[in-house]
Amino acid sequence: MTVEGIREKLFELQDEKYRDFQQGLIPSVEQKEFIGIRTPALRKLAKELYKSGELDEFFRDLPHKYFDENQLHAFAISEIKDFDECMKALEEFLPFVDNWATSDQMSPKVFKKNKEELFSHIKKWLQSDHTYTVRFGIGMLMQHFLDEDFDLSYPEMVAGIRSDEYYINMMIAWYFATALAKQYESILPFIEEKRLSPWTHNKAIQKSVESYRITDEQKTYLRRLKVKI
């Protein structure tokens, strides 16, 4: 299917009230770039187009004109079943990701069965000078390496990241809040020793105490570890 054909399908799914709502949530994207399509409809279309094999031209059409096209691209990549094919499409797309939503909602299913290969790419993404590539890398480390595959070297990598970018620091905070919920004893020293930048440190604590997965006793202790900025 042509890029124009896909764009026509997207506008058929437009919800103007949802578009107006989205514009306030994603300030890094210009208002004119929103079509306004709800996520379930985009995911459904991505699956249909992937199954039909009609995405080659669309994948090559970068950068996209609309936010919703980026979302469709991300959801379609998430459907690719071959790891190498998925990673090739992802590496071509990541430099064009320009917002937190596209970065965070892109989650290839094939990664779960290819952890070792995935990790080699994560290490590279964390070294990127592109905000949303770094954010995506932290997100993948959080999603796939905080349970049975956890290793203390992984939070060490995240704690070592220093950036002035809000969307990177927010993801670092989210990572450590999630890590506290899953690996409390191992992660707590990073907070006690103030291994993060002050803003990120406090944000990680804030997100932790908002979590139902942290006990009341742990929340009380974490609140005491906040720093003055």
Average pLDDT over residues 112-135: 96
What are the residue boundaries of the structural domains of the chain, listed by start?
Answer: 1-113, 114-229
31-77 pLDDT per residue, tens: 999 999 999 999 999 999 999 998 999 999 999 999 999 999 999 99
159 with 196: CB under 8 angstroms? yes
130-148 pLDDT per residue, tens: 999 999 999 999 999 999 9
For residue 209, the model assigns a pLDDT of 95
pTM: 0.94
For residue 54, the model assigns a pLDDT of 86
Provide DSSP, 63-127: S-SSHHHHHHHHHHHTT--SHHHHHHHHHHHGGG--SHHHHHH---GGGGG-HHHHHHHHHHHTT
For residue 229, the model assigns a pLDDT of 85
**Domain 114-229, architecture per CATH:** Alpha Horseshoe (1.25)
Q: How far apart are CA 68 and CA 43, in angstroms?
A: 11
Residue 129 phi/psi, 5° resolution? -100, 10
Give residue for tokens 């990598």. 157
Helices then strands, each counted (H, E), the chain: 14, 0
Q: Is pLDDT at 175 greater than 90 in this prediction?
A: yes
202-225 pLDDT per residue, tens: 999 999 999 999 999 999 999 999
Q: Is pLDDT at 129 greater than 90 in this prediction?
A: yes
- The mean pLDDT of the chain is 96
Q: Is pLDDT at 1 greater than 90 in this prediction?
A: no
For residue 93, the model assigns a pLDDT of 98
For residue 112, the model assigns a pLDDT of 94
For residue 215, the model assigns a pLDDT of 95
Cβ neighbours for 170, distance < 8 A, ≥ 6 positions apart:
100, 203
For residue 123, the model assigns a pLDDT of 97
Q: How far apart are CA 150 and CA 142, in angstroms?
A: 10
